A and B are shown apart, each in its own frame.
Chain A
Amino acid sequence: MHETDMTKALIITVKDWYRSQIPQPKINKIHLIVGQFTCVEPLSLKFAFEVQTRNTFLEGVELAIQDIPLIAFCHTCQQEYKPNIGLQYSCPDCKSPMDDIRSGRELKIDRIEYSTLEEQVVKQT
């Protein structure tokens, strides 16, 4: 499914970053931001990531996914509201259509937690 492709994109992006680092660090955790108004299901993404990173430099790396709710702005009522995904998207007060999405479309790598090799050496000794 599409989570496989999203995971591929994720791995490629992280690999690019990894290769640009000197010395190459040890990646501990990747933080993602995933909006609720996207096609990505966080649990499927985690699963796909675990499967696709087996036996790679990313094996065992934790994927932390921050869920961002769908928030729209109603210009008639001049207020934000939270559409009820799957049921109703128009403004609950005045029924104006959803035409201004303020959040929920995000699909991005926020940050990467890593430690450098020297530190691992320090830790080991």
Chain B
Amino acid sequence: MHQTFDAALEINLLHANQTGADHNRKHFDRWGITCLNIMSSPGAGKTVLLEQTLKVLKDKFKIAVIEGDMTTELDADRLRKYDVPVIPINTGRSCHLDSKMVAGGIHTLEHQYNPHDFDLVLVENVGNLVCPAEFEVGEHAKVALLSVTEGEDKPLKYPVMFQEADCLLITKTDLAPYLDIDLDCIADNVRQMNPNITIIYLSAKTGAGLSQWFDWIEKILQQNPVKHLSTQV
């Protein structure tokens, strides 16, 4: 008689990645660092946003960038001009960063710099609207970008990232007049699945909305109690 057995595992497929992400976050917390995971489809404006952000905030906060450019160091080179540590992660053919790759970046931060000095780590994820949302890297908040050229329906079609994000930047608003796009409709579509998300309309070209973005970063830095805790210990 052929008898089969059953082993109930009930293990989450992302368990290992989640454990790694929690571990990364512990490192950040110990050093008093707030980490933001910046995600979007390719070309929505992540690197330009980082450039603008570094330009203005690098004298106010100590910032490092973990750059998940797929194969080249192009994006990392653009950011090094701002005199902040830019740690490139070569993701190979992977279409997203995972917690293990970011752990490599954290290792670099720990050994080549003094991590206690830093306030903020900005992670530029691989350009992809689908996968990065499933792989936490140890961030304290998720930022999603959607450019006006992508269309109102993208949040409905690729909902997971928009549902998970804490802040949505609707980018390239300077192009909206040339397109048939309803900006409020983008916001409404996202709020359907994420009513508490912060939505900021932004143009890196005209600078519109940037100050709101900087305010949001400052608010997150203040909310994240780790700096406070680590000084108490």
Q: Measuring CB to CB, which residues of chain A are less than 8 angstroms from any residue of chain B?
A: 1-2, 5-6, 9-10, 12-13, 17, 25, 28, 32, 37-40, 83, 85-90, 97-99, 107-116, 119, 123
Q: Which of B1-9, B111-119, B198-206 contacts A (4 or more CB under 8 A)?
A: B1-9
Q: With contacts A9-B13, A97-B192, A97-B193 known, is A85 near B159, CB below 8 A?
A: yes
Q: Chain B interface (Cβ within 8 Å of chain A)?
A: 2-17, 94-96, 98, 130-131, 133-135, 156-157, 159-160, 163, 191-196
How far, in whole Å, are A110 and B59 apart by their CA atoms in the complex? 50
A89 in contact with B195 given A25-B5, A115-B5, A116-B5 (CB within 8 Å): no
Give 5 CB contacts A-B under 8 Å.
A12-B16, A97-B194, A107-B14, A108-B9, A116-B5
- Give the shortest distance, in Å, between B96 (CB) and chain A (any CB): 7
B156 proximity list for chain A (CB < 8 A): 86-89
| Residues in A neighbouring B134, C-beta threshold 8 A | 2, 38-40, 107
Picked from A17, A99, A110, A115, the residue with its CB within 8 Å of the CB of B195 is A99
In the assembled complex, the Cα of A25 lies from the Cα of B16 at a distance in Å of: 24
User: Contact between B5 and A114 (Cβ–Cβ < 8 Å)?
Assistant: yes
Asked if A98 contacts B6 (CB within 8 A), the reply is no
Which label, helix, strand, loop or mixed, suits the secondary structure of the A interface?
Answer: mixed
- Contact (Cβ within 8 A) A13 B160: no
- B95 contact set on A, CB distance < 8 A: 1-2
* Nearest B-chain residue to A13, judged by Cβ: B11
Cα A114 to Cα B6 with chains together (Å): 6
Chain A residues with CB below 8 A from B133, complex form: 39
Report B-chain residues with C-beta under 8 Å of the C-beta of A99.
Answer: 195-196
Q: Quick check: B2 and A39 within 8 Å, CB to CB? A: no
Report A61 CB to chain B, min CB distance, Å: 13
Taken together as a complex, chains A and B put the C-alpha atoms of A91 and B191 apart, in Å, by 12
| Closest chain A residue, CB of each to CB of B160 | A39
By beta carbon, the residue of chain A nearest B5 is A114
How far is it, in angstroms, between the C-alpha of A86 and the C-alpha of B194 when the chains are bound? Answer: 15
Q: Which A residues are in CB contact (< 8 Å) with B193?
A: 83, 89-90, 97-98
Residue pair B15, A89 in contact (C-beta under 8 Å)? no
Chain B proximity of A107: nearest CB distance (Å): 5
B2, B10, B17, B163: which contacts A115 (Cβ < 8 A)?
B2
Q: Check B10 against A110 for contact (C-beta < 8 Å).
A: yes
Using CB atoms, name the residue of chain A closest to B130: A39
The list of the 9 closest CB pairs from A to B, nearest first, reads: A2-B131, A97-B195, A89-B193, A90-B192, A89-B192, A107-B13, A112-B7, A109-B9, A111-B8
Nearest B residue (CB) for A84: B156
Contacts of A1 in B (CB 8 A): 95, 131
